[in-house]
Amino acid sequence: MPLWKLTSVGAAAAVGMVLTMFAGEGGFVVGVLLVAATWLLTASTPRGSVLARVVTRRRWKERTTRGTVKYTPFDQGSWDALAVQARAKSPQVRADAARQAVSLRDTPDGASGMAWLEKRPRRPGVAWHAPAGEPAYLSVAFEVSGQIRGLESDAATDAAAAGWGRFLARLGSHDSVARMAQTITRVLPPDSARHQAWLVENLDPDTPPEVAASYDELLRKVDASTMTPRHYVVIRWPLTSAFRHAAARHGQRRQGWRELMRIEVASMTARLRGAGHSWVRPLSAAQTAAVMLHMQSPSRAIDQVAGVDPDRFGVPSADHYSAHVVTVTDPATGQETQWWHRTARITAEAMATVHRSSLWMTALLSGTGDGTLRTLSFHTWVIPAAQARAAARLDRTRDSADRLARSQAGRIEDEETELRLSAAQRRARDLRPGEHHAGVEWVGYLTVSARSAAQLAEACRKAQATAADELGIERLEWLDTLQSAASGTTWPIARGMRPPADRGRDKVMSRMAGHGAKESL
């Protein structure tokens, strides 16, 4: 049972005990009813709990009333015109102006509170994030080749997984100021521009027109029937006291931040290559913004940087209850077109306890030749090995106690308990001193994009079926009423995960460790 549900039921039980003490049998009956009602309201169903659905509908009603379901990039002229309407005599005109003013925002919901520390051309773009209610951080996006290219042996696949594990473990070291890695895989139709350019440069002038037309037809058929993956890794640097202390050694204030990030980006580039990516390219601010614009409007090429303003990465959109809808002009046809996006969250609670390989998510990205697009993103927050080791001991002890209790009660041991215990034992072995591993907290997100509501509904149904039947994901948690903000979880900006809460012991040890003497190198 999730912690918040356990807390709710426990609080209801505590209230029932107090009522029993002061009201006798009547209080006991009320307490039992209160616990039962709390249990029913928070019970998980294939469509979430009753309480969650009530909260969701109330949120949607409030957003619709306030007008925050629409987003329009801020424009001073439009703002001034609305300011004039806000002084009109008609209450209806004033209310309409207020709703339109709410829709005018600098950044889309998926990237609220985002600016740039470094946005100069031909330099790695360093995004500066200060989302409401969350700690500030910096992020840099890297385009990578992917570790597995074509057909590879099982040994090569295992070596790639081990390399990625070592990369993550480095983020968990005591001297690392980066703490989170976001991996993004987006499948989309291949870009035939390079093939067409090759044809123009190498075509023999005496080639019959029928041959050239045949090649062009082949390219179009390939584009319509195949999909190609694009891979990105985004690193997140929390703006903690450790980061500021390290940056102060390189200069005053923002100057030190930029110099430290220059060193960090070069280090991450080398480490990503060492993890098995043969090709790594840090994206500039304009290139990162271009990827974000493409993910909102897939009609736009993902590599189209010409004309991109790093500070203008939002596309006018509107939220529906279950979709984030963008209306744009298709550059190929010049006609108005829509893109419908829907995002789901993947959590550990929704995962069945089964054995998985390092390529277990492949099925969720393949088989999308129906014109829909999918983007899969995993956020991994690295926990230092010492902290993860203590948590692994607790898990192993709890699972062993569960196994012993079942044995003493004469109950047959089920496969789930056995798998959970073996997983805890393997994790404990991996985290032994000298093994160079670290612990992680993770969350995944899947964004499905289609050209219509009907296509999106069918694509989401297929994704849900694939997740349940082939991947052991019992439920995709669709983030309805929050789809515009949820879209940002699969953008290359490391959004969608709060830092894990430190235990009291870890906080004390961290404070005792400090950051070293100011005079030290």
Give dist(CA 387, CA 343) in Å, integer.
32
Q: Please check the confidence at residue 342 and state whether its pLDDT lies above 80.
A: yes
Number of H helices, E strands in the chain: 16, 14
Percent of the chain scoring above 70 in pLDDT: 76
The domain boundary residue, chosen from 226, 253, 272: 226
Q: What is the mean pLDDT of the chain?
A: 81
Domain span including residue 428: 389-437
Q: Please check the confidence at residue 172 and state whether its pLDDT lies above 90.
A: no
pLDDT at 116: 96
Between the alpha carbon of residue 293 and those of residues 130, 307, 313, 475, the distances in Å are 20, 12, 6, 29
Q: With residue 71 as reference, give the H or E element that holds it.
A: strand 70-73
pLDDT in tens, 303-324: 889 889 999 999 999 999 999 9
H helices within 308-414, ranges in order?
Answer: 362-365, 385-408
Percent of the chain scoring above 90 in pLDDT: 36
Give dist(CA 138, CA 114) in Å, integer.
10
Give dist(CA 510, CA 275) in Å, integer.
29
Total domains in the chain come to 3
Taking a C-beta distance cutoff of 8 angstroms, is the pair 280, 273 a contact? yes
- DSSP lists the bridge partners of residue 95 as none
**Do 421 and 299 share a structural domain?**
no
| Bigger pLDDT: 382 vs 390 | 382
Q: Please check the confidence at residue 232 and state whether its pLDDT lies above 70.
A: yes
pLDDT at 88: 83
350: pLDDT confidence band, cut at 50, 70 and 90? confident
pLDDT in tens, 413-442: 555 555 555 555 555 555 555 555 667 789
Taking a C-beta distance cutoff of 8 angstroms, is the pair 291, 141 a contact? yes
Question: Does 58 reside within a domain?
Answer: no
**Do 428 and 317 share a structural domain?**
no
384: pLDDT confidence band, cut at 50, 70 and 90? confident
Give dist(CA 342, CA 485) in Å, integer.
11
| Bigger pLDDT: 408 vs 139 | 139
Question: Does 267 reside within a domain?
Answer: yes
Q: Please check the confidence at residue 403 and state whether its pLDDT lies above 90.
A: no
Taking a C-beta distance cutoff of 8 angstroms, is the pair 325, 338 a contact? yes
pLDDT at 85: 82
Length of the chain (residues): 521
**Do 242 and 326 share a structural domain?**
yes
Pull the structure tokens for residue 351: 């995962």
**Do 256 and 394 share a structural domain?**
no
Q: What are phi and psi of 330, to 5 degrees?
A: -70, 120
Least Cα distance to 476 among 364, 324, 318, 359 occurs for: 364
| Bigger pLDDT: 467 vs 402 | 467
Angle at 465 between CA 459 and CA 466, to 5 degrees: 90
Give dist(CA 87, CA 81) in Å, integer.
10
Taking a C-beta distance cutoff of 8 angstroms, is the pair 425, 392 a contact? no
**Do 284 and 402 share a structural domain?**
no
143: pLDDT confidence band, cut at 50, 70 and 90? very high
Give dist(CA 414, CA 392) in Å, integer.
21
| Bigger pLDDT: 133 vs 488 | 488
In this structure, of 153-157, 178-182, 284-288, 484-488, the range with the lowest mean pLDDT score is 153-157
pLDDT in tens, 260-282: 999 999 999 999 999 888 899 99
Give dist(CA 301, CA 367) in Å, integer.
21
pLDDT at 244: 92
**Do 505 and 395 share a structural domain?**
no
Contacts with 178 (C-beta within 8 Å, 6 or more apart), sequence order: 171, 235, 236, 237, 264, 268
Q: What are phi and psi of 315, to 5 degrees?
A: -115, 135
Give dist(CA 126, CA 508) in Å, integer.
32
**Locate tokens 């291949």: which residue?**
190
Question: Does 475 reside within a domain?
Answer: yes
**Do 417 and 455 share a structural domain?**
no
**Do 245 and 131 share a structural domain?**
yes
**Do 368 and 413 share a structural domain?**
no
Percent of the chain that is helix, strand, coil (3-state, to 5): 50, 20, 35
Q: What are phi and psi of 167, to 5 degrees?
A: -60, -45
* Single-letter amino acid, residue 357: S
**Do 201 and 179 share a structural domain?**
no
162: pLDDT confidence band, cut at 50, 70 and 90? confident
pLDDT at 223: 57
| Bigger pLDDT: 222 vs 421 | 222
Give dist(CA 397, CA 390) in Å, integer.
11
Question: Does 9 reside within a domain?
Answer: no
**Do 372 and 333 share a structural domain?**
yes
Question: Does 521 reside within a domain?
Answer: no
The domain boundary residue, chosen from 226, 246, 271: 226
Q: Quote the pTM value.
A: 0.81
- DSSP lists the bridge partners of residue 378 as 183, 444
The domain boundary residue, chosen from 176, 209, 226: 226
**Do 327 and 275 share a structural domain?**
yes
388: pLDDT confidence band, cut at 50, 70 and 90? low
pLDDT in tens, 16-37: 777 777 777 777 777 777 777 7
Question: Does 353 reside within a domain?
Answer: yes
User: What SS3 class is residue 106?
Assistant: coil
pLDDT at 202: 73
pLDDT at 109: 93
Question: Does 362 reside within a domain?
Answer: yes
Q: Please check the confidence at residue 250 and state whether its pLDDT lies above 80.
A: yes
Q: What are phi and psi of 180, to 5 degrees?
A: -135, 145
Question: Does 462 reside within a domain?
Answer: yes
